[in-house]
């Protein structure tokens, strides 16, 4: 019972030499603040905003004392806000669809802090050694290996190294979530912040389309595209990127309604679900709509089949979807048959180019982040310049850049993630099973979207790899589950004092 109700020891005061850490942090914060005030006018806008955020975070750590929670929250909030800086850009007129420079984000700094904290916590335990779960996450590890090997065949070696540096950070995030998240309260904390991101983006997109909202502050920029209609992109730069982010998380948000968490969390999930749907609709992304519809259909059908949902629920959802289609049939019809049909047809030409690349470089590919720089060598006769872009198919892009081993490992990673979600769903855990089904459904929907999109933005990759790592952590927690006594599980004290009471069935 003591083990089961053990509190999360995330506080700085529990670490060795805690007082030294806190005094050092206070002194460092004061020094940075003083320099910032003196030289504010010389600091670039992006750097100035990052410094402000760092100062606020440092004071938050000193006040709250919960370092792990703050660093995790920073990473989760950074997914939709995209606080990125690129160093070392050398090509003035780069090919479209190519990553330039060494990407450093708030996620990078927070992730480094989480690893330091994890190592210190593990070393503080008698007889314990820090351990990262590599063997348990073999598919993604192999994928990263093939990405690294592709550097040796890349025509533009530095560009391949840019991609390795970018993916390595997100791979380390995946490993951290899979290894260091060990409590149900941590799972709920992460899910709550993902819901907050959905709510934030939904509100931003509604503000963009209906109220003309515009934000341009410290690297956070809202964008509305006007190609064949006003398409909301929120803070994510592209409507298709926004659609990928939203469609991945809508089914997990819906799944919260079927856990035994208390009603406050379910109301938050309902708000995230509704605003996420509205935001997705405003992106006018056909791939995103299909991905969301597929993920929701999988969740509802599987839950109904297992008796977790009454038959009336899917009937009501289908009826509601039909009403929406009838009311906005002109919008949906225009999207699937209108002027953007040329963009859809262009994807077919880009796929033909990708197949030619694959045929010439079947084993190791052409090198990570080298597709765009090689595309002119494979142009089809009669293809105009407006269609020259990286192939809008994630699987063909991975195959062309990293070879047969890379695409095999990537598909293995996706299939293993789905299988892990299905296994957790079958365990009938009041918290983890519905969440696992929602994440699994979201990943399947995302896989369908990858057929028509690049899926190489940090937001998309980070969100997908994070929820995949979350499933690994959930499986570990489920494997070590202790049967609940009548007292345990009715109410626990969660992250930073949050009460994660479960409603009784």
Q: Are 272 and 316 in contact (CB under 8 A)?
A: no
Q: Are 200 and 80 in contact (CB under 8 A)?
A: yes
- Position 149 scores a pLDDT of 96
- Position 501 scores a pLDDT of 46
- Position 61 scores a pLDDT of 54
In sequence order, the β-bridge partners of residue 104 are 85
- Position 6 scores a pLDDT of 41
Tokens of 187: 């799972």
**How many whole angstroms separate alpha carbon 392 and alpha carbon 354?**
10
- Give the start-to-end residue ranges of the domains of the chain: 66-480+489-497
Chain center to CA of 470: 11
- Position 286 scores a pLDDT of 87
Tokens of 223: 């964008």
- Position 284 scores a pLDDT of 87
Other C-beta atoms within 10 Å of 330: how many? Answer: 9
Tokens of 160: 């391949």
- Position 200 scores a pLDDT of 93
Produce one character per residue of 71-104: b if its CB has 16 or more CB atoms within 10 Å, e if not: bbbbbbbbbbbbbbbeeeeeeeeebebbbbbbbb
Q: Are 201 and 246 in contact (CB under 8 A)?
A: yes
Q: Are 237 and 457 in contact (CB under 8 A)?
A: yes
Tokens of 121: 């916590």
Residue by residue, DSSP assigns 291-360 as HHHHHHHHHHHHHHHTTSS-THHHHHHHHHHHHHHHHTHHHHHHHHHSTTHHHHHHHHHHHHHHHHHHHH
User: Which residues of the chain are under the pLDDT cut of 50?
Assistant: 1-19, 36-38, 40-41, 63-64, 482-505
Tokens of 57: 């975070």
């Amino acid at each position: 019972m003591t083990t089961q109700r053990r509190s999360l020891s995330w506080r700085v005061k529990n670490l060795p030499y805690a007082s030294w850490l806190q005094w050092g942090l206070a002194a460092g914060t004061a020094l940075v603040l003083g320099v910032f005030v003196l030289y504010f006018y010389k600091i670039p806008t992006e750097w100035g905003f990052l410094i402000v955020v760092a100062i606020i975070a440092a004071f938050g750590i000193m006040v709250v004392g919960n370092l792990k929670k703050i660093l995790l929250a920073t990473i989760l909030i950074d997914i939709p806000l995209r606080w990125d800086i690129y160093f070392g850009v050398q090509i003035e007129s780069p090919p479209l669809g190519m990553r330039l420079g060494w990407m450093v984000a708030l996620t990078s700094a927070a992730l480094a802090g989480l690893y330091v904290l994890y190592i210190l916590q593990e070393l503080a335990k008698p007889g314990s050694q820090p351990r990262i779960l590599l063997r348990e996450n073999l598919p993604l590890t192999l994928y990263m290996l093939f990405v690294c090997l592709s550097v040796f065949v890349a025509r533009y070696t530095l560009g391949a190294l840019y991609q390795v540096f970018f993916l390595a950070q997100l791979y380390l995030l995946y490993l951290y979530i899979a290894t260091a998240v060990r409590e149900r309260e941590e799972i709920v904390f992460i899910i709550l912040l993902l819901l907050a991101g959905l709510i934030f983006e939904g509100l931003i997109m509604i503000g963009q389309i209906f109220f003309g909202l515009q934000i341009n502050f410290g690297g956070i920029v809202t964008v509305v595209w006007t190609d064949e209609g006003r398409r909301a992109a929120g803070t994510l730069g592209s409507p298709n990127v926004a659609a990928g982010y939203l469609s991945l998380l809508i089914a997990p948000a819906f799944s919260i309604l079927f856990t035994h968490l208390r009603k406050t969390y379910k109301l938050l999930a309902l708000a995230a679900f509704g605003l996420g749907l509205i935001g997705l609709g405003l992106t006018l992304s056909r791939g995103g709509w299909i991905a969301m519809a597929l993920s929701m259909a999988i969740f509802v059908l599987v839950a109904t089949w297992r008796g977790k949902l009454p038959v009336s629920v899917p009937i009501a959802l289908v009826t509601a979807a039909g009403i929406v289609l009838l009311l906005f049939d002109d919008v949906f019809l225009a999207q699937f048959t209108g002027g953007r049909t040329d963009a859809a047809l262009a994807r077919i030409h880009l796929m033909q180019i990708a197949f030619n690349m694959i045929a010439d470089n079947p084993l190791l590919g052409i090198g990570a982040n080298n597709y765009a720089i090689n595309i002119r060598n494979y142009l089809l006769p009669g293809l105009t310049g407006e269609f020259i872009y990286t192939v809008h198919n994630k699987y063909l892009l991975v195959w062309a850049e990293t070879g047969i081993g890379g695409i095999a490992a990537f598909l293995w990673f996706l299939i293993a993630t789905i299988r892990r979600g299905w296994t957790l769903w079958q365990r009938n855990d009041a918290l983890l099973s519905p969440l696992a089904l929602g994440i699994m459904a979201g990943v399947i929907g995302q896989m369908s979207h990858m057929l028509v999109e690049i899926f190489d933005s940090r937001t998309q990759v980070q969100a997908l790899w994070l929820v995949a790592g979350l499933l690994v952590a959930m499986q570990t927690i489920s494997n070590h589950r202790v049967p609940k006594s009548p007292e345990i599980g009715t109410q626990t004290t969660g992250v930073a004092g949050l009460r994660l009471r479960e409603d009784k069935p």
